[in-house]
C-alpha cells in the first residue's frame, strides 16, 4: 500500500478509499490505541470539521473507532483547522483531528491530526495507522449519520477559540474605524470570522457565508479572489479578506482592489516585527515558490529569506530549527510560531489589522517597497527524472542563466512530484528575457530527457 499521509494529512474523494467509512473508523480506533499505548492511559481527542456534506458521516465513523476502544472525545462541530489545533493545546487533549480538504472542491475530504503542541502528528504514529489500515477487513461499512445530541459542547468549544482570538491575539485592538468585506468561502470561517471582527468593532460585510455542504470554495474564497476585489471597490471598503475552506490561510485586498498575497503579507509582517525588534534572527522563512521580489525587498532592509520545499510542514520545521519568528507561503498560509504552530487565517488577519492600525495607514501603503517580479513557468514532459546536475548540457545552461540573472532574478528547476514533468521557473525584471531563458532551458531538457 502506498503512503497515505502526505505533508498535509490524508486526502481524497469522500466515500472512496481511504476516505470511506470503514477506513476512517480504523483511523479513529488506531489513533486511540497507539495514543493509549504511548501514554499508558485513556487518551483525550478533540474533533472538528469544515462544511462539506461528507463531514458529519466521516466524523461519526471516526467517533465509532475512537469510542470502540474507550477513548474520551470532544466534538467542536464546524470549526477551522487552526481552531482544532488551538483546542488540542488548550483543553488539553492528546490529539486533535480535523476533517477537511482545505481548498479542494466539496467532493473531496481529508484527515489532519495534530499533536498537543499544534504540530502535525509525528511520522511514526502515521506509519502505525497506515499499517493498521493495511490490515483492516475489506468489509465496507455503511456511513452512519452524526448525532446532533451535543451541540452545546460544540458551541462552547467554538466560543473558547473565539475568546482566545479576541482577548489574547486581539488584545487592545479596536477596528471601529474600519470597513471590511470578508469572503468566508462557504467554509469553516463562515460564522467565526464575521463574529470575531465584529467583536473588535469592525463594520463587516460578510459574503459566501451560507454553506450548504456543496458550495465550499465554489467560485469564492482565497482561490477565487475576483468577486471580493469587486465588492471592496464597489462598497468603498478599507480592505477585503478571503479565507479558504478551513481558514488556515488568508489573502487580502486593498481599498483599490489590489491583491495582497502571502508574499506581500510576509513583507508587511517582517517590517512590523523588525521595527519592534521582534524579528528573530533578522530572517523570514518561505518556500521556493515565493517571488524573488520578496527576497530582494527583504535584503534591502538587511533581512534574509530562508527557503524551504513547498508545504507549511517544511516551513514550520525550519522555523523551529532556526528559532525564527515569521514564516509562510505565497498562498497566504502564515505562521507566527510564538503565537501558534498552526497557520491560522484569523490570527493572520488580526496581525495585519494591528499593523495597519498602529501605522495609521492603508494596506496599499503598507505593501509599498515590495515589487513582484515577472515569472515564467514552462513544463516539459520527460521520460525519466534524472538529476539535472548529472546532465552536462542542462547544468551548463542553468549556470549561464543564473549568471545572466545576477542577483536580480531566480531560476528554479524541479520535477513534478505527481506527473512526468520537468518544471522550469524563472523570475526576473524583464518579461521578454526570462521567457527566452525559460524556453532555451526547456528546449535542452526536451532534447536530453523529453518523452517521445
pLDDT tens digits, residue range 339-357? 999 999 999 999 999 999 9
CA separation for the pair 39, 53 (Å, rounded):
34
Residues 340 and 249 in one domain: yes
Q: Would residue 162 count as lying in a domain?
A: no
- What are the DSSP E strand ranges found in 320-420? 327-328, 334-335, 375-381, 410-415
Last residue of some domain: 128, 153, 178? 153
CA separation for the pair 357, 178 (Å, rounded):
9
366, 313, 304: which is closest to 342 by C-alpha?
313
pLDDT tens digits, residue range 78-134? 999 999 999 999 999 999 999 999 999 999 999 999 999 988 888 899 999 999 999
Peptide bond into 92 cis (omega under 30): yes
Query: Cα angle vertex 45, ends 60, 143, to 5°?
Result: 10
pLDDT at res. 183: 98
Q: Would residue 163 count as lying in a domain?
A: no
Residues 186 and 147 in one domain: no
Q: Would residue 317 count as lying in a domain?
A: yes
CA separation for the pair 217, 212 (Å, rounded):
11
Residues 140 and 20 in one domain: yes
Q: How many domains does the chain have?
A: 3
Last residue of some domain: 309, 337, 366? 366
pLDDT at res. 90: 96
346, 77, 6, 38: which is closest to 193 by C-alpha?
346
Residues 37 and 132 in one domain: yes
Residues 360 and 395 in one domain: no
* Residue-wise burial string across 17-36, b where 16 or more C-beta atoms lie within 10 A, e elsewhere: ebbbbbbbbbbbbbbbbbbb
Residues 40 and 68 in one domain: yes
Residues 312 and 199 in one domain: yes
Q: Would residue 300 count as lying in a domain?
A: yes
Order across the sheet with 239-243: list the strands: 203-207, 179-183, 239-243, 250-253, 259-260
Contact 42, 67 (CB under 8 A): no
pLDDT at res. 143: 65
Q: Is 190 a catalytic residue?
A: no
Q: What is the 3-state secondary structure (H, E, C) of 78-143?
A: ECCHHHHHHHHHHCCCCEEEEECCCCCCCCEEEEEEECCCCCECCHHHHHHHHHHHHCCCCCCCCC
Residues 214 and 356 in one domain: yes
Q: What is the largest CA-CA distance in the chain?
A: 66
Q: For the chain, which residues score pLDDT lower than 70?
A: 1, 137-150, 452
Distance of CA 121 to the CA centre of its chain: 16
Which domain covers residue 399, as residue numbers?
Answer: 375-449
216, 224, 251: which is closest to 101 by C-alpha?
216
pLDDT at res. 348: 98
Q: Would residue 242 count as lying in a domain?
A: yes
Contacts for 318-326: CB closer than 8 Å, 24+ residues apart: 318/285, 319/285, 322/281, 322/283, 322/285, 323/280, 323/281, 324/280, 324/281, 324/283, 324/284, 324/285, 325/273, 325/278, 325/279, 325/280, 325/281, 326/266, 326/269, 326/270, 326/273, 326/279, 326/284, 326/285
- What phi, psi does 315 have (nearest 5°)? -65, -45
Residues 257 and 379 in one domain: no
pLDDT at res. 139: 55
Q: Is 274 helix (H, G, I), strand (E, B) or coil?
A: helix
- List the catalytic residue out of 30, 102, 190, 331: 102
CATH of the domain at 289: 3.40.120.10
C-alpha cell belonging to residue 229: 476585489
Residues 211 and 301 in one domain: yes
Q: Would residue 64 count as lying in a domain?
A: yes
CA separation for the pair 387, 273 (Å, rounded):
39
Q: Would residue 4 count as lying in a domain?
A: no
Question: How many Cβ atoms sit within 10 Å of the Cβ of residue 326?
Answer: 27
Q: Would residue 227 count as lying in a domain?
A: yes
pLDDT at res. 1: 56
CATH of the domain at 428: 3.30.310.50
Last residue of some domain: 153, 188, 203? 153
Residues 359 and 388 in one domain: no
Alpha helices of 236-381 — where are they, by DSSP H? Answer: 262-275, 292-300, 312-322, 345-359, 363-366
C-alpha cell belonging to residue 144: 452512519
Q: Is 391 helix (H, G, I), strand (E, B) or coil?
A: coil
Residues 81 and 230 in one domain: no
Amino acid at each position: 500500500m502506498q503512503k497515505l499521509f502526505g505533508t498535509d494529512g490524508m486526502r481524497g474523494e469522500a466515500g472512496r478509499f481511504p476516505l470511506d467509512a470503514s477506513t476512517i473508523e480504523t483511523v479513529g480506533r488506531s489513533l486511540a490505541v497507539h495514543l493509549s499505548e504511548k501514554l499508558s492511559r485513556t487518551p483525550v481527542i478533540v474533533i472538528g470539521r469544515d462544511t462539506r456534506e461528507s463531514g458529519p458521516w466521516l466524523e461519526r465513523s471516526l467517533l465509532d473507532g475512537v469510542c470502540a476502544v474507550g477513548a474520551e472525545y470532544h466534538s467542536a462541530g464546524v470549526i477551522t483547522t487552526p481552531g482544532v489545533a488551538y483546542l488540542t493545546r488548550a483543553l488539553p487533549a492528546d490529539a486533535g483531528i480535523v476533517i477537511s480538504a482545505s481548498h479542494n472542491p466539496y467532493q473531496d475530504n481529508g484527515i489532519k491530526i495534530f499533536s498537543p503542541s499544534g504540530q502535525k502528528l509525528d511520522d511514526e504514529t502515521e506509519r502505525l495507522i497506515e499499517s493498521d489500515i493495511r490490515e483492516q477487513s475489506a468489509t465496507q461499512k455503511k456511513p452512519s449519520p452524526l448525532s446532533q445530541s451535543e451541540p452545546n459542547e460544540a458551541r462552547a468549544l467554538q466560543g473558547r477559540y473565539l475568546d482566545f482570538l479576541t482577548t489574547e491575539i486581539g488584545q487592545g485592538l479596536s477596528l471601529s474605524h474600519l470597513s471590511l468585506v470578508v469572503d468566508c468561502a462557504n467554509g469553516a470561517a463562515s460564522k467565526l470570522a464575521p463574529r470575531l471582527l465584529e467583536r473588535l468593532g469592525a463594520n463587516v460585510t460578510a459574503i459566501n457565508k451560507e454553506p450548504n455542504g456543496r458550495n465550499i470554495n465554489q467560485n469564492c474564497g482565497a482561490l477565487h479572489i475576483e468577486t471580493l476585489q469587486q465588492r471592496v471597490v464597489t462598497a468603498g471598503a478599507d480592505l477585503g479578506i478571503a479565507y479558504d475552506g478551513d481558514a488556515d490561510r488568508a489573502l487580502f485586498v486593498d481599498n483599490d482592489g489590489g491583491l495582497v498575497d502571502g508574499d506581500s503579507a510576509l513583507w508587511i509582517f517582517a517590517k512590523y516585527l523588525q521595527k519592534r525588534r521582534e524579528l528573530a534572527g533578522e530572517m523570514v522563512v518561505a518556500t521556493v515558490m515565493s517571488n524573488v521580489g520578496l527576497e530582494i525587498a527583504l535584503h534591502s532592509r538587511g533581512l534574509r529569506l530562508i527557503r524551504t520545499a513547498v508545504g507549511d510542514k517544511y516551513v514550520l520545521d525550519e522555523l523551529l530549527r532556526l528559532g525564527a519568528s515569521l514564516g509562510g507561503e505565497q498562498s497566504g498560509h502564515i505562521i507566527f510560531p510564538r503565537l501558534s504552530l498552526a497557520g491560522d487565517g484569523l490570527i493572520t488577519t488580526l496581525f495585519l489589522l494591528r499593523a495597519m492600525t498602529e501605522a495609521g495607514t492603508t494596506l496599499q501603503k503598507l505593501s509599498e517597497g515590495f515589487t513582484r517580479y515577472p515569472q515564467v513557468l514552462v513544463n516539459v514532459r520527460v521520460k525519466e527524472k534524472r538529476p539535472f546536475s548529472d546532465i552536462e548540457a542542462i547544468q551548463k545552461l542553468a549556470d549561464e542563466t543564473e549568471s545572466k540573472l545576477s542577483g536580480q532574478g531566480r531560476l528554479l528547476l524541479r520535477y513534478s512530484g505527481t506527473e512526468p514533468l520537468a518544471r522550469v521557473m524563472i523570475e526576473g525584471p524583464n518579461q521578454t528575457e526570462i521567457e527566452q531563458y525559460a524556453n532555451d532551458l526547456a528546449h535542452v531538457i526536451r532534447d536530453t530527457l523529453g518523452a517521445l
